Structure 1
């Protein structure tokens, strides 16, 4: 039975899927999220979220009641669902930040944005805003903290959900023959030069990552 590590602990619902698969499942949280203290004096016309973590951090902020009156755009179907569930009007969403820049250029280029992100974020959106002279304010609303673990067990596969989790894993472990299942292209890019044994999920969700893993070992 192949041994597969998940670099984050998954939900009970996911465990129902795991229990039906023929794999030896191991899970550890290799990164954690800590909300930051921040204040929003004057939100701009559209709010921008690139993760569920950013939405949760904003929900914990006293300003959230006011911010819910401002429409949003976001990266990720799960982010969109969390926003909608908490009362936001979601004008647009895409799977990746690069795709979202195309949507902004076509539909919202004359608008201004309040961008909520973590301390480790890619430059795609800020660079796009600066290049196109689109006004935006950036708020760092959470920090990603690494929790490196040393794995004693021989692994056949590893599920990665972010580049930060890869960095954390590599602090105390090496990737050799393991198949790496990645939630999306950004995470897969972080493995370039380390391994070619990469399977990218059909959609950037935990469910799709697990499905890719189960299908591989079926």
Structure 2
């Protein structure tokens, strides 16, 4: 069995596949580029919904500005881990932007937030906050570029880690056999986009690459026995 990864893997992640007896192909379906930005004031409560946003924040804010952050609201375990490793307190970790927005509306409605996001960010979180009159300033800190690569074959599974990755793959492969593969997605937000292009979509139990790999391995092995 062979799976396709729309993101280059780390050695320990490749090891998980090799130990499971799966062959794999890997490439980066997207690349991100940090955008220069300036802040005129300190931001005490911030929202970060991706590791890209977290890295851009850490790379561009001064130590004084980072220390001024009193509370961070994040999406994804890896995003939270990156922030905590760099001394930023994370108040809430959600599985996706909509879940995070609902938590903020229910528990922090009268507070003001700064949302550090990508230029192609999804609408769910800012829309929900706006509809519920939660003050939120958006600061674009990175942008995403699609990488076009087509595959004239099917795979037993294709693993996706962002809606942008799904869109990049689908755009390049809408007329190829690869689009008939099973899509394994890191979270529900990515899966929502995948369902627009794939007949069969399976969502990971947790929002991490390792969990998505485990879900694919378990599913494909179960299917091979039927």
TM-score range, shorter chain: over 0.9
Q: Distance in 1 between matches of 2:202 and 2:190?
A: 11
CA drift at 1:62: 4.0
Residues 118 and 132 of structure 1: CA distance in aligned 2, closer, same or farther (over 3 Å)? same
Partner residue, 1:91:
91
Residues 148 and 68 of structure 1: CA distance in aligned 2, closer, same or farther (over 3 Å)? farther
Is 1:35 aligned to 2:34, yes or no?
yes
Decide whether the 8 Å contact of 1:69 with 1:88 is kept in 2: no
Name structure 2 gaps, 5 residues minimum. Answer: 222-226
Q: Distance in 1 between matches of 2:81 and 2:121?
A: 21
How far does the alpha carbon of each residue in 1:14-67 deviate from its partner, in whole angstroms, 9 at most, with x for none?
A: 111111012211000010110000011113430110111001011111435412
Partner residue, 2:220:
217
For residues 8-157 of structure 1, the aligned pairs below 5 Å read 8-63=7-62, 65-70=64-69, 71-157=71-157
CA drift at 1:11: 1.0
Alignment: residue pair count: 217
Q: Distance in 2 between matches of 1:50 and 1:65?
A: 22
Secondary structure in 2 aligned to 1:150?
coil
Moved over 6 A (4+): none
In proportion to residue count, which structure has more helix? 2
Residues 64 and 138 of structure 1: CA distance in aligned 2, closer, same or farther (over 3 Å)? farther
Name structure 1 gaps, 5 residues minimum. Answer: none
Query: Given the alignment, which residue of 197, 200, 207 partners 1:204?
Result: 207
Decide whether the 8 Å contact of 1:6 with 1:25 is kept in 2: yes
**What TM-score do you get using the length of structure 1 for normalisation?**
0.93
CA drift at 1:209: 0.8
Is 1:182 aligned to 2:185, yes or no?
yes
Q: Distance in 2 between matches of 1:195 and 1:62?
A: 40
Residues 108 and 13 of structure 1: CA distance in aligned 2, closer, same or farther (over 3 Å)? same
Q: Distance in 2 between matches of 1:108 and 1:67?
A: 21
**What TM-score do you get using the length of structure 2 for normalisation?**
0.90
CA drift at 1:184: 1.2
Q: Distance in 2 between matches of 1:8 and 1:23?
A: 16
